[in-house]
Chain A
Amino acid sequence: MKFAVKAWSNCKARTGCLQLGNCPTAIDTPALLLSTCKGLPNFISPDLLPSLPSPDSHLLQFSPLHFLEGPSLKTISSIGGLQHLLGLHEYVFAAVARDSVQCLPECNASNKFGASFETTCGRRLIKPVEYVELISSMRPDIWASLADEVPSWVSDKRNKTSVDRTVRWLDECINLNSTGGAIFGAIVGGNDMEERQRCALEVVKRNVSGYWIGGFGLGESIDERPALLDAVTDVLPEELPRMICGLGLPEEILQGIAAGVDLFDSAYIYHLTLGGFALTFPLNGIAEKRPDTHLNDDASDRTKINLRATLYRKDTSPILEGCNCYACLNHTKAYINHLLNVHEMLAQILLEIHNTHHYLGFFRSIREAIKAGKFQQYHQKFVEGRRNHLALPAAAINS
């Protein structure tokens, strides 16, 4: 793995370039890692993947714990690892135990031996040695060390323990590693700035290829997050990539980028898709100021629309005018509305394609803003656009 930071905006936000063995072209950061179920996107079959922007869509994140059921590790290993198992030779795989969808940390059941997760095959305690075995058979390009992630409300004592364990498990992972994949050291510390920093400083001492920031999206408020993120990224060396888990909303992504994070997961897209939502926010970061024509319509909050709404029953326009994804080039809102009404799988296929396409476009426009040195303005405009929107209904009531 090669990583180089290419430019900083007028703040900590940075754009870089990630080069990995199998992907023919380098991938620019900040970048989105596509969420997967057992290595494939939830609904986008491999023959439809190339319709997404390339190489932007070539980073896939998976949880090795998805394979606690299924082919034996020996079989996966003999096939040649995940890339071969999935037939995705020009894609980059990043392994993270937690996936925010089917594999969630269960801190009460974690102990000094390993981390506990709620998975599709029940609650499982995973020890570092077992985790590394999974990793070794799957041979991801990047993998995060095992972390003891805790939600924001745990006691200081429990939070300290989580940092101690995570650092100890990182050492075990490094010692056991035999894959050649790039290890990203896990950084936790919950809502405690000092613990966050202590963890980051310990991880920085280790021989890692990058950093994985865990313990977010677990109950902390969006307002306290920037300080916590800064506490971590302030002590990280600039030259290594930083991946984060648990930030999904556009505003959260922007927070992460503002703190200097490079890689993000996309469980958000999965949840949107299941809910029948399609992303529609403008990518230039400037939310139009004109009064919303659908002011009283709860189908839209200006970042997304809900295609289940009866409003779209006869709407023959694409999800988003000007979007050139497969769904928008081929289908109408009315059709997707029908598919959702009758519970047809094609609805999720089309929505996942559009949402992924749109979010990759969002990342691209962020990178352009950083390169132009205008990330802060971009960030501010985006947040203001949202605030204006939220203020609009109140204004309408008052008038």
Chain B
Amino acid sequence: MALRFEIMGRFNRARAAQLTLPHFTCQTPLFMPVGTQGTIKGLTTQQLEEIGCQIILGNTYHLALRPTSELIDELGGLHKFMNWPRAMLTDSGGFQMVSLLHLADITEKGVTFQSPVDGKPMLLTPEESIQIQNRIGADIIMALDDVVRTTITGPRIEEAMYRTLRWIDRCIAAHKRPHEQNLFGIVQGGLDPVLRDICVRGLVDRNLPGYAIGGLAGGEDKDSFWRVVAQCTASLPEDKPRYVMGVGYPLDIVVCSALGADMYDCVYPTRTARFGTALIPEGVLKLKHQVMADDTRPIDPTCDCMVCRNYTRAYIHCLVTKYAMGSQLLSYHNLYYMMKLSRDLHSSIVQGQFPEFVRKFLQRMFPQGDVPQWVCNAMEVAGIDISSCCAPFTTRNTVFSDEISSLKPQNSCKNPSAT
């Protein structure tokens, strides 16, 4: 084990902690930007440090293809290769294969896939995934799991869960750098509480440095999503970090943190930036929309980032989706927003202000009081009273019509994303 996890504050299930990793001491809850190919798209490592980024994620599958893990190893590891002094996490590569490649096939041996280089069948075994991640050298490495779509049901889910448990032992056995890198296990089991429970217990028995909740954020309904998170966080050990994979919507992060999760990753903030969308406390702002052309306000008047201090929506509007600078500036703002959200979650928990923080967050995102039912349900379990954020049922109809007109300049930032 190469980490320390010290809880600094709590509110019911929510916790704020200090996570000491080989390369950096992080404050949780935290969001990890995804740097697929050894760079966060459009930002320098200096900018990432400036906005308070603590840990970034690298994608094993992409890095193994180019520049190859052997080369990264030869040049001293990914930290050195990309000059990132802070913490890093790599995924196992399995999810990328299953989601990116049509012909991936999972057997007991591992994930068989067609090489994108020469089309030959290749096999990624748990041992190989760990070997590659050992070469890349991230602070946290992920076990290879058997990934299935959350939306499917039946015996395949059960098979995947048991296989994930069998593979974790192979991963542990293959892990050559346990004193420099932390191997996290991944809880699978679809939306089935019984399977999730078996998986959690199986992994906890292995006494890993940390645990991830996998197989979510794949199109399942939100009520199922938070219930799985709540179930897993309730039975995972208190003194180990908990990472919900693939979660990146600010609302989801707030809810999961209230339920006791600590770490998140998602391409959403940077990907949505490239499509011209900014994250703001009220939801999202689509900078491409014509009403932005002459809007002289900053993206988010309450944001202190370099972009909001200097630029109007009108100027960003003329850059987005057309010029590199548009996505550079929007990615910067969006990641700044995510880092600020992480800091606010941490400090509000430490200062005993967490329920107030959640209420303020919800009030800004849902000024009409139309907090989604799943959020209300989750907050009940989290023990956070948000009744002051929720309008009585009868007023909900008017909310909908406002959302339709959400692109009028006055309302454009008052409304949550048209998700």
Contacts and interface: CB of A to CB of B under 8 A. Distances in A.
Contacts of B38: 335, 338-339, 342, 344
A241 to B, nearest CB: 29
Q: Size class of A's contact patch?
A: 35 or more
Interface string A105-134: 000000000000000100000000000000
Residue among B37, B71, B315 with max Cβ neighbours from chain A (10 Å): B315
A3 interface: no
Closest 10 CB pairs of A and B: A70-B318, A87-B310, A71-B314, A342-B37, A75-B294, A346-B39, A338-B67, A47-B306, A345-B42, A344-B39
A350 B328 CA distance: 13
Interface residues of B, number: 41
B327 interface: yes
Given A38-B315, A47-B306, A342-B38, 18 more contacts: A37-B323, A43-B324, A43-B325, A45-B306, A71-B294, A71-B314, A75-B294, A75-B314, A78-B296, A85-B314, A86-B315, A120-B322, A338-B67, A339-B38, A341-B66, A342-B37, A345-B42, A346-B44
A69 B323 CA distance: 13
A323 interface: no
A40 interface: yes
A315 B314 CA distance: 43
A38 B328 CA distance: 14
A45 B329 contact: yes
Interface in B42-70: 42-47, 50, 62, 66-67
A86 B310 contact: yes
B312 to A, nearest CB: 7
A69 B318 contact: yes
A186 B75 CA distance: 53
B400 interface: no
Contact of B45 (A46, A313, A330, A332): A330
A377 interface: no
B309 interface: yes
A344 B324 contact: no
B45 A348 contact: no
Contact of B41 (A334, A344, A350): A344
A345 B328 contact: yes
Given A43-B324, A75-B294, A38 B319 contact: yes
A188 to B, nearest CB: 30
A331 B81 CA distance: 8
Nearest to B325: A40
Nearest to A40: B325
A38 B323 contact: yes
A67 to B, nearest CB: 7
A67 B311 CA distance: 16
A38 B318 contact: yes
Contacts of A71: 293-294, 312, 314-315, 317-318
Interface string A327-355: 00011101100110110111011100000
A344 B328 CA distance: 12
A341 B67 contact: yes
B52 to A, nearest CB: 14
Interface in B64-87: 66-67, 71, 74-75, 81-83
Interface of B: 37-39, 41-47, 50, 62, 66-67, 71, 74-75, 81-83, 293-294, 296, 306, 309-312, 314-315, 317-319, 322-325, 327-329, 332
A46 B293 contact: no
B46 to A, nearest CB: 7
Residue among B47, B306, B311, B324 with max Cβ neighbours from chain A (10 Å): B324
Contact of A344 (B37, B47, B71): B37
A87 B323 CA distance: 18
A388 interface: no
A48 B325 CA distance: 12
Contacts of A38: 315, 318-319, 323, 325
A1 interface: no
28 contacts: A38-B319, A43-B324, A43-B328, A45-B332, A48-B44, A48-B47, A67-B318, A70-B314, A70-B318, A74-B294, A86-B311, A86-B315, A326-B44, A335-B38, A335-B82, A338-B37, A339-B39, A342-B37, A342-B38, A342-B62, A344-B38, A344-B41, A345-B41, A345-B42, A345-B328, A346-B44, A349-B328, A350-B44
A338 to B, nearest CB: 5
A45 B328 contact: yes
A45 B331 CA distance: 12
A206 B66 CA distance: 60
A338 B66 contact: yes
Contact of B324 (A70, A342, A348): A348
